[in-house]
Amino acid sequence: MTTVIEVQVLPHAEGLPLPAYKTAGSSGMDLLAAVESDMEVAAGKIALVPTGLRIATPEGFELQVRPRSGLALNHGIFVINSPGTIDADYRGELKIILANFGAENFRITRGMRIAQLVLACVQRIAWHPVDALPETTRGAGGFGHTGLS
């Protein structure tokens, strides 16, 4: 299934390709850094990286921003609020909050693939207050109650 989404390319992203799926089975598209000159994310610091894109996400959907596994494993670079949510009514520039948990400073260059973008359906909630919830086998168990193996 394909969902068509309107995208506006801002002047500082001109010449960069739009996000695209790299393989037929990819669920995420790579987002590119639309920096005009190299920027550095110091070890232990957070940076806001522009993509140069404004997106009109359709009602009933959200766009989720997720880390790229290679950046996380090899450099300690994460999307700090992962997954970041782009709501259907947001019309500002898509910017990525990257955190450097690595030991070295990390250089971001123009066109570098910095995060992934995944389209997800959103369902709305209608709360129904009750005096008690139905019982389950698990009950209130959580936070590691099933152990490590």
Alpha helices in the chain (DSSP H): 69-75
Q: What is the pLDDT of residue 69?
A: 95
Centre a 10 Å sphere on the Cβ of residue 139 and count the other Cβ atoms it contains: 9
Is 138 within a domain? no
Domain count, the chain: 1
For the entire predicted model, the pTM comes to: 0.88
Is 85 within a domain? yes
Domain at 21, CATH number: 2.70.40.10
Whether the CA torsion 71, 32, 112, 10 is positive or negative: it is: negative
One pLDDT digit (tens) per residue for the chain, 149 residues: 799 999 999 999 999 999 999 999 999 999 999 999 999 999 999 999 999 999 999 999 999 999 999 999 999 999 999 999 999 999 999 999 999 999 999 999 999 999 999 999 999 999 999 999 999 988 888 887 777 88
Residue 45 belongs to what domain range? 6-121
